[in-house]
Structure 1
Amino acid sequence: MRSHGIVESAAGLLPFGHMGWGYRNRDEFLCRAAEYLVDGLDHGQRVAFVGAGTVDGLRAELAAFPRLRDHAGFDSIVVLAADEYYPFHAGTDIIDSEVAIARYLEATDTAIRDGHSGFRAAVDVTAVARTPQQRDELTVLEYLVDQLMAVRPFSALCAYDVGELGPDAIEVLCLHPYLSPQAAGFQIFADGDPRTDCVLSGELDQSAAQVYSTTLRRILPLMPPGAVQIDARGLQFIAHRQLLQLNDIACEHGRRIVLTTSQHVPRRLIELLQPSHITAAP
């Protein structure tokens, strides 16, 4: 299973840890971004920083962190203003996930050609996560990009202002293998194993019902045809209602789901409830 977990900082996620960080003030975001960028520079990656403000202002904010400012690669950091960075569907404030993914892939390929070991970015994504319509498309981007990050040499720290977004931030934060503390109670992310469509970990109870349901409905159509193979070995708990939710959503989309797990609770629930569209595998 791909490395994942809840972490206290953005340092040490090498070489390509994809992280979702829920922050409550700008200093917190900048601190985490600096940690993440220093690691990238130390590892020979090309790094980029995206945030709200002007390019000069953003670079000045990064320079406030001595370990980053004094790094030999500081001047090579690609700094971009969020307003100019995001590709949008014409006439909207909704991110164009297809264009965004193409840009990430191009940046990665260019970094490799230029002699870097890969590409990583620290990005404040709040501006394109404010409305349900924005999060519909952003979920597509986060899910598909993570599938690529599991097998390609690029990654990102995706930061979301939870003070502004509130509980809605969980809808996109949960799609990262690494999370900040209390960002989300569960995670759905890629494994890199072609036999696995996604990994489901953490705990699923009634408190997660709405965001869990919303997220599943957004990402299930993105998965390849056939039975959906979910590695649930890290799923520590699932309530019976959430198992039935998963079954209902699978039924809506005409999909069958195979949960790979040795955990007692989900296996016992599947045995007792006999959901029509879910089976368990060891």
Structure 2
Amino acid sequence: MAGKVSTIQRGGSRFYVDADTDVKVPGVTSVLSMLPKPFLTPWAAKTTAEAAVDNLPAVASIAAHDRDGAVDFLKGAYRRYTKTRANIGSEAHDLFERMIRGESIDPADIPARMVPYYENFSEFLDVVQPELVRAEDVAWSDTYQYAGSFDALLRIKDDDGQTVTVIADWKTSKDTYPDVALQMAAYGFADRLIDPEGNSVPMPDIDAAAVLHITDTRWKFKPVRFDSDVFSHFVHLRNTFDWDREVSKTVIGKPFAQGGIGNARIITGTQRRGK
């Protein structure tokens, strides 16, 4: 039985920690980072090139006195963009959580850049009429040892007018991508839900998954494939995470022999075990 759950960062990955037992498991998004992302290199190169072209006078001025400073400015272009988008996403998620919980919000109190998101999310609520079941709880898997915080568990009407339970995610990125299905499957196939007070309940039956892709100009509520086959691909990534973080560090042994420039020698088993 889990207690209150906190998160920590280790080696660039997020881990969820049970405060009572100190059990530590990787987060869903950290597991998903095991997916290859070949598009990131050309994207980062393009972002750097755009920063150079858009800031030519400033870059030239910096470079004239501090070449390394100019290089650092351009090298950090993609990180600045990512941080800006992450900040917008965090602000939007906070706003959406308060709205889905029924909090009364005065648009005049909302930062200007969040107003379009507020208006689009309001329209989503009016059109879809979702009933909130839970929001921002932790989905915890004892079976596969992972955890993650999901955006919302909702009840909505399907095309036939039947009420279905849907695990949903809000995305404020440029587009929606296939790995959202892995993310939703990880949450929905977890064993338990844990609220902020540490109360744990079995994962309820979930009928479907969906993603709300919402930007400052539009919104779309899209179904996401949710089945055991998709989940099995997430489980493979969970195993890959263990390989990357732990197992890979154990597979190369100490040399049987070594040398170089006339210094070759056999290393005995006794010597290897003693080192």
Tell whether the structures are fold-level matches, with TM greater than 0.5.
no
Range of TM-score over shorter length: under 0.3
Normalising by structure 2, report the TM-score: 0.23
Normalising by structure 1, report the TM-score: 0.23
